Structure 1
Amino acid sequence: MSELSKPKEDLQDPVEAQGPMEAQLLEAEEDEATSHLASYLPASSSAPLEALPQEILNEMMANLMKFLLLSYRAKELTSQAEMLKKVLRDNQEHFPVVFSQASHCLELVCGVEVKEVDPREHIYIMVPNLGLTCDVMLSSGQSMPKAGLLVLILSLIMQNGDRAPEEKVWGALSRLGVCVGSVHCVFGEPRTLLTHVWVQEGYLEYRQVPYSYPARYEFLWGPRAYAETSKWEVMAFLLRIKERASRAFPPLSAEAAREEDEAA
């Protein structure tokens, strides 16, 4: 039997696999992280959800994201029926919007894409974005997926002529609440992640700008990034995300377009 076909009861929850103290700390960290992730997306303006307080919507999305992340770590398939039974329960009428926003948030922040593999039975699989394998070690449940941040960094490098000045990268991340010197609930300490972990894994290059004095540094794509994905795939992903955001928030998109026209 393949890993993806194993029933839920045969697989150990990553939290339960830890010792008592480690399990409590990991579960607390994961609850905080998934709640934080849920706040990345506003509630839908659809009529049925307007009656629910924002805190309840965020909690529903956070619970669904936590469930999907557990399935991702365990390399399991899941289904709409299972999500309704185990997560939303008495809020089944809200499933379409909550599932859509939870999936979108996971894709943007964690780099985990939720794909439907059986449209008739509504069965889904969670896979890393763009083929990036930087989170393969997460099956132990020791950390939240971070491929979404890596995709953002790779796109920033592309947009800056294939070499992004360090100050531009930190400036962009700070606007997302990811700041150097501060431990983020999902990404940890960003300087260590970008300049050590991903450099050692080959996803990024971090080097001094030639002849710069005082010394300035820049980020480039690493050899492993080129091996696992491509600029075309990253560009297509960004366009897909932009198109999805335009459909979800057309008034905001129209206003942004006017501002861009005026600036031009």
Structure 2
Amino acid sequence: MRLMTDGEDDTIPTQVERRSQDQVNQKVSELVQFLLVKDQKKIPIKRADMLKNIIREYKDAYSEIVNKAGRTLQEVFGLQLVEIDTKRHIYILINNLPHAEGQYLCRKQHSVFGDVRKLVTEEFVRQKYLETTPIPLTDPPEFKYQWGPRAEKETSKKDVLNFVAKIQGKDPTFWASQYSETKATP
């Protein structure tokens, strides 16, 4: 650290400060890449994994690195880093770009989904799109499925209902209970 004397510009960083800031910026870039890879597979991101795999010896700059990575994700990719579990410090990325009206997936049929049961009961649960609760005293076991924290952050029930209604060529009020639920939640 250099001492400041009269007439010196205190806004010019020293070589040590510059190198340190360059290293922090490198960690920001590495964290952005790490988060994008995790998000590609829709794997929730743990703070412990960010510290262990990327931030390492820069733990004292954790907040700065995560905040800068969050700004980069927002500005460059339109993604928002959201903490969905404040006790266990688990994060996800959500698409923050506005939905393009009228742009829907191709209408041709796909056989890409494979085992749909596995997709719904395992993949979507692991990715936090769905949460399951066992229904007591059922044989064979039955489960209640609800929106998970990722689904709640990425879309709204109203948008999903409107999308389904448009595909089906029906008015959203056709599904009365779901329609009333969208009116009850903001």
Bin for the TM-score computed over the shorter chain: 0.3 to 0.5
Q: Which has the higher helix share?
A: 1
Q: Tell me which structure has the larger Cα radius of gyration.
A: 2
TM-score of the superposed pair, with normalisation by structure 2: 0.43
